[in-house]
Structure 1
C-alpha cells in the first residue's frame, strides 16, 4: 500500500472522509533526535517540500510516545528505545490548513528520542531527503515547528518542566 492509501485507511483519513471540510482535532507526535554535535535530524517532506522533524498521526491502539517512535522509524529508518515528552501543544494557535485544504487543530506531543539504532534511510514516500542541522544552519524552507520545538527543548532541559501550550 502506498502513502495515499495508507492515509485514506488511517483513523484520521477515515475521519476526514466522514466529516468533509469540518475542522478536526489531529492527534500527533513528533520525534526529535540530536547527534553528538547537538544537531537535529530533519526530513524534507515529500508532500510539501518543507524540512521538519519526523512526525505524524497517532493511530488507534498506540500512545503518543509510541507514535513518535513509529513515525520517526517509518520516515528515517532510525529506531528509538526511549522517548521523553518535553512539549505538549493544544492551543487553538496550532490550527492549520494543509495543502489539500483540510483544517486541523493539532494536539501534539514533542518527544526527545534517545538510544537510537538503525541506519538513516529516509522512506521516499515520506521524505525526499534527511540531514543533521544546527539552529544556525537550518535548511530552507523549514517548518516553524523546528524552531519552536528547539526552544521548547531548551526550556525543558533548563527547568525540567514540560512545555505546555
Structure 2
C-alpha cells in the first residue's frame, strides 16, 4: 500500500546520515473510536506492539494528509473528518534499531471515516477496536498519553503543545 522504508523520505535521510546522529521525525498519529467507544489499534509488523496508527510525513504532505494516509495504509480506513489536538516537539527517543529521533508529531482525533477495516497490511499484522478497559497487554506507552491528552483537549478545547 505505502512506500517501503528505504524509499521513504525518512528512510533516505537516515541512510544518508547514518545510524548514530539524532534526526527529526516529523509525522502524525490518529486516534479513532467506533460507535461503541472502542479504540482502534494496529499490531505493528516491525515490533508486534499494539499501537495507534501513525507514521512519518512525506515531502509535500501536510500533517493532516500524513494522518489520513497513515491511517489508510495501516488499516484500510480513510479519515473523512479529523481534528488535531496535541502537537509534540520536545520528545526524543531511540528505537529498537538504535536510531534516535526528536519527534515533531501532530495527533488527530478522527470523527468519521470510510472503508472496511483491514486486519493485515504491509505495516500491521492485526488490527481491531478495543474497549478502553481491555487494551492488549503488549501496547505502546503512547496510547495512554494520547488518551489523556484527548481528555484534556475535550475539557479545554485548546490545542495541547508539548
**TM-score tier (shorter):** over 0.9
Once the two structures are superposed, residues 53-101 of structure 1 have per-residue CA deviations (whole angstroms, 9 ceiling, x without a partner) of 010000001101110110000100001111200010111xx21111211
Query: Runs of at least 4 residues of structure 1 off by over 4 A?
Result: none
* 1:45 paired to 2:44: yes
Paired residues of 2:79 and 2:114 also in contact (CA < 8 A): yes
Q: Distance in 1 between matches of 2:121 and 2:25?
A: 24
TM-score (norm 2): 0.94
> Displacement of 1:10 after TM fit?
1.1
Once the two structures are superposed, residues 32-65 of structure 1 have per-residue CA deviations (whole angstroms, 9 ceiling, x without a partner) of 1111121110000010011000100000011011
Residue in structure 2 matched with residue 73 of structure 1 by the alignment: 72
- Give the one of 132, 135, 138 matched to 2:132: 135
Aligned residue pairs: how many? 161
Residue in structure 1 matched with residue 158 of structure 2 by the alignment: 161
- Give the one of 75, 93, 100 matched to 1:103: 100
> Structure 2, unaligned stretches of length 5 or more?
none
Q: Distance in 1 between matches of 2:74 and 2:46?
A: 13
Residue in structure 2 matched with residue 15 of structure 1 by the alignment: 13
Q: Secondary structure of 2:4's match? A: helix
Once the two structures are superposed, residues 120-145 of structure 1 have per-residue CA deviations (whole angstroms, 9 ceiling, x without a partner) of 01443211111112221110211011
Paired residues of 2:75 and 2:121 also in contact (CA < 8 A): no
> Structure 1, unaligned stretches of length 5 or more?
none
> Displacement of 1:161 after TM fit?
0.8
Q: Secondary structure of 1:22's match? A: coil
